[in-house]
Structures are given as C-alpha cells and as structure tokens.
Amino acid sequence: MCLAEADQHGGIVMSGSKVYRLVGVAMLAAVGFVLMNFGIPLFFPFLKLDFSDLTVLLGGLIYGPVGGIAVAFVRSLLHWVFTGGGIVNLIGDAAAFIASVGFMVPVVLAIRNHTSVPRQLLGLGLGTLSLTAIMSVLNWLVLMPLYLWAWNFKLGMSTLRYVLVGVIPFNLIKGLVISIVFFAVAKALMPWLEKHGAVHPA
C-alpha cells in the first residue's frame, strides 16, 4: 500500500486510514484556533484580521473541500468553547466559520485540478470576492442585527452604512492579505501536494 493515495473528494488519505485524516484535520484546527486568538482590529474593534484561514485553506487542499470545512468547524468550535461560550461569541464564531468556508471553497475548487500561477491567482481572487459578498449580505441582514440585539447597544449608523464603510473594505483587505501569505505557502507545498495526489498539475 502506498504512503498516501487520493480519496474520492480529491484529498489525501494517509496509509489508507481515516485516522490520519482526522488527526490532520484536528492538528490544523488546533493551529487555526491559536492563530484566531491573535486578531488585528481593522476599522471597528470587532472586525479582526487573523491568519487562521490559512489552516482552513491548507485543509481544503490536502483533504478536499469537506476537510477544509471540518477544519473551519473544529477551529471555530474550539474558539467558542475556550472563550466562554455565550450567545455573542456564538454569533462571532459562526460568522468566522461561514467566512472561512466562503473563502476556502472557491480557492480549492479552482486550484485542486489546475495548479498554474494564473489559476491560483484566479482562485484566490474568487475566494476574496466570495468572502466579501457573503459577509456583506450576512452582516447587513443577519449578523449585525443579532449583535445589536445581543449587546443591546446602538451602532451609531445604519447597518447598510456599516457594511459599506467597514465590512466590505475589511474583507477585501483580509482576502488580499491571506491570499498573499497563502500563495507563498502553497508555492512551497505544491510539489508535495502534487506528489501525493491532493492537487493535479495544470
């Protein structure tokens, strides 16, 4: 049996065992949880840029989109539990999960079978646009109204204005920064990923 073989989702199953897949997902989620605690506020105190999405993207490349979703879920669950739970943290961690998945899926689908630089840039660009669009709509219609209800405070502006001056520029910057770092990381890992069947050369 070979050391690693591609599964039906386009990811890697080490030594043919799902145990290695679960361990890999857990390790990436744990690293993502640590990174999530070092967010940098941008525009508003509750809009924080962190690098935990890197582990979600790596999980998506190595284990397929389902693996990336699993990394995002476990990471956000760990963050919710270790920050004390509660409705406010639940809203924030649910939003982080949705944002990560919205960013990861277009990137992985674009890169998995075509690893050329233009294809990587296309995937990261689509991921950034997907992230921005999803989070803009969610913040406008769901997340910010929930936050205002849970915190019982006034935003000082309309929800739509908050999205325009905060959410959209924040997610565009976040997508750009994460894309630059991930592009460098993926470039270093791509030979290994191609060798073990996680991605396929263009």
Q: CA-to-CA distance for 147 and 88, rounded, in angstroms?
A: 7
Which whole number is the average pLDDT over 37-56? Answer: 91
% of the chain residues with pLDDT over 90: 60
pLDDT tens profile 131-171: 999 999 999 999 999 988 888 778 888 999 999 999 999 99
Token digits of residue 182: 């991930």
In this structure, what token pair is assigned to residue 66? 């389902």
- pLDDT of res. 154: 80
For 65-99, write each residue's pLDDT tens digit.
999 999 999 999 999 999 988 888 899 999 999 99
Structural domains in the chain, CATH included, are 4-195 (1.10.1760.20)
Rounded distance between C-alpha atoms, residue 137 and residue 134, angstroms: 5
